[in-house]
Amino acid sequence: MTLSRIAEEIKPSGTIKISTKVKSMAREGISVIGFGMGEPDFNTPKNIADAAIKAIKDGFTKYTPTSGILELREAICEKLLGDNGLKYSPTQVVVSSGAKQVTHNLILVLCDSGDEVIIPSPYWVSYPEQVKMAGARPVYVQGTDETGFKVTPESLKEAITPRTKVLLLNSPGNPTGVVYTEEELRTLAGIAVEKGIYVISDEIYEKIIYDGIKHASPASFGDEFMNRVITVNGFSKAYAMTGWRLGYAAGPENVIKATIRLQDHTTSCANSIAQKAAVEALRGDQTTVGLMVAEFDKRRRYIVERLSKLEGISCIMPKGAFYVFPNVTGLYRLGIAGTNVSDSTKLVDLLIEKARVAFVPGVCFGSDDHIRISFATNMNQIEEGMDRLEELLTS
Ligand SMILES: *Cc1c(COP(=O)(O)O)cnc(C)c1O
């Protein structure tokens, strides 16, 4: 008997593969510095954890409505209005077990088999796999180093066909740290909206943004946009809550209602305790968010400065999120300590072996010319990792 089409098609996650390798080397006593993780190294702020403990003690441990508790959906509406200028009612919000789950659900309710979803590349690893699971087809639009990894309106227009159903946007973006300006987002989302194409705007890194740049939400650009854009966000990145598994989407009521129906029969509600914690995350003191971002900013500058001194690596300063995505084609030309490398997977393997530093191959994100380096790890580790890399590359 064969397995299903989905089972055959889904690729293993490249990021998880690297962390497994690092862990198995650690068991053999080899210390590898990991730059693979896509999660904040900080703990969840105490006020948020306390709210969860209180929820447990109060016995708030039963199923909630599939869409999420009203209190949380109201807090999300307040947040979307205050931060993003978006006027939603709680019936236009669904709470899910992570932004990842809600994106998957949205693609399932929006796409039929054979539909096309436009994904700006480099992209977050899960988008193409989620599109394929829905039987739809990922269509990539390439951003390059020259455009700061942004896709142009021309290339977007060229990718649109009568089968295009969804455009995925992710600003600030993983893995490149790209942040589109409000004008650029208005143009790109506008091209889609004008053609009746839905836009899923993954804004999970909204708070992790540098140089005083202002985040913009495409749904806020006008009524036409409100009717077509679904805003996705979550708690994992801004509040260091990856393990709590909580995210949400807000959008047109018919889309949200369908997402809730789908979720009724798959995971039901998100964790009740985490939902209480999330209310505190949104309504409580926000100072820890700023402190985390300031620390990420320091690491970002340091890592880019160290990388830019290395021959064969060229690096754009990321404007958001906590990754750098350097171009490593220079190393393919130069070789490393006498060894030739010609792709990002071999390069990452070689760097783990010879320098004991672990990055993620760019090919996982749609570019074999790059590697992803996460700086969601402490400064000592970053310094030591950069020393090791420099030592190997200058030997
Ligand atoms: C981390 C991440 C997510 C997933 O967030 P969860 O809420 O933990 O599921 C979604 N999109 C991007 C681009 C991410 O990097």
Domains of the chain: 5-43+288-394 (3.90.1150.10), 46-283 (3.40.640.10)
Contact 67, 93 (CB under 8 A): yes
Report how far ligand 1's centroid is from the alpha carbon of 45 (Å). 19
The burial of 33, by beta-carbon neighbours within 10 Å (0-12 exposed, 13-18 middle, 19 or more buried), is given as buried
Q: Which atom of ligand 1 sits closest to the CA of residue 173?
A: 13
Report how far ligand 1's centroid is from the alpha carbon of 204 (Å). 6
pLDDT of 20 reads 82
Q: Which atom of ligand 1 sits closest to the CA of residue 100?
A: 9
The size of the chain, in residues, is 395
Report how far ligand 1's centroid is from the alpha carbon of 259 (Å). 18
Nearest CA to ligand 1 atom 5: 99
Query: For residue 45, what is the DSSP state?
Result: P
**C-alpha–C-alpha distance, residues 157 and 141, integer Å:** 10
Q: What is the dihedral of CA 286, 288, 290, 294, to 10 degrees?
A: 180
Report how far ligand 1's centroid is from the alpha carbon of 354 (Å). 31
Mutation test of ligand 1: which of 100, 129, 375 has the most ligand atoms closer than 8 Å to its C-beta?
A: 100
pLDDT of 166 reads 98
Mutation test of ligand 1: which of 95, 121, 124 has the most ligand atoms closer than 8 Å to its C-beta?
A: 124
Task: Provide the residue-wise pLDDT of the chain in tens; the chain has 395 residues.
Answer: 889 988 888 877 777 778 788 888 889 999 999 898 888 989 999 999 999 999 999 999 999 999 999 999 999 999 999 999 999 999 999 999 999 999 999 999 999 999 999 999 999 999 999 999 999 999 999 999 999 999 999 999 999 999 999 999 999 999 999 999 999 999 999 999 999 999 999 999 999 999 999 999 999 999 999 999 999 999 999 999 999 999 999 999 999 999 999 999 999 999 999 999 999 999 999 999 999 999 999 999 999 999 999 999 999 999 999 999 999 999 999 998 888 999 999 999 999 999 999 999 999 999 999 999 999 999 999 999 999 999 999 98
pLDDT of 37 reads 80
pTM, to two decimals? 0.96
* DSSP string covering 138-155: EEEEE--TTTTTPPPHHH
Q: Which residues line ligand 1 (CB under 6 A)?
A: 38, 98-100, 124, 170, 174, 202, 204, 234, 236-237, 242, 247
Pairing status of strand 116-121 against strand 137-142: parallel
Contact 313, 324 (CB under 8 A): no
- What are 320's strand-pairing partners? 209
Report how far ligand 1's centroid is from the alpha carbon of 174 (Å). 9
pLDDT of 16 reads 76
What's at 371, amino acid-wise? I
Of 130, 133, 72, 109, the closest CA to residue 253 belongs to 109
What's at 236, amino acid-wise? S
Report how far ligand 1's centroid is from the alpha carbon of 128 (Å). 14
Instruction: Tell me how far CA of residue 248 lies from CA of 97, 99, 164, 193, 234, in angstroms.
Output: 8, 6, 24, 22, 6
pLDDT of 102 reads 98
Residues 6+ apart with CB under 8 A from 297: 210
- Report CA Rg, the chain: 21
Mutation test of ligand 1: which of 106, 204, 235 has the most ligand atoms closer than 8 Å to its C-beta?
A: 204
Mutation test of ligand 1: which of 41, 174, 230, 372 has the most ligand atoms closer than 8 Å to its C-beta?
A: 174
Residue 103, both tokens: 């994106």
**C-alpha–C-alpha distance, residues 372 and 361, integer Å:** 6
pLDDT of 64 reads 98
Residue 167, both tokens: 């455009």
Instruction: Tell me how far CA of residue 179 lies from CA of 205, 213, 308, 374, 375, in angstroms.
Output: 10, 8, 21, 17, 17
Burial letters 235-251, b for 16+ CB under 10 A, else e: bbbbbbbbebbbbbbbb
SS3 373: strand
Instruction: Provide the H-helix boundaries in 240-378.
Output: 253-264, 272-283, 287-308, 329-334, 344-355
Report how far ligand 1's centroid is from the alpha carbon of 29 (Å). 32
What's at 263, amino acid-wise? Q
**C-alpha–C-alpha distance, residues 251 and 225, integer Å:** 10
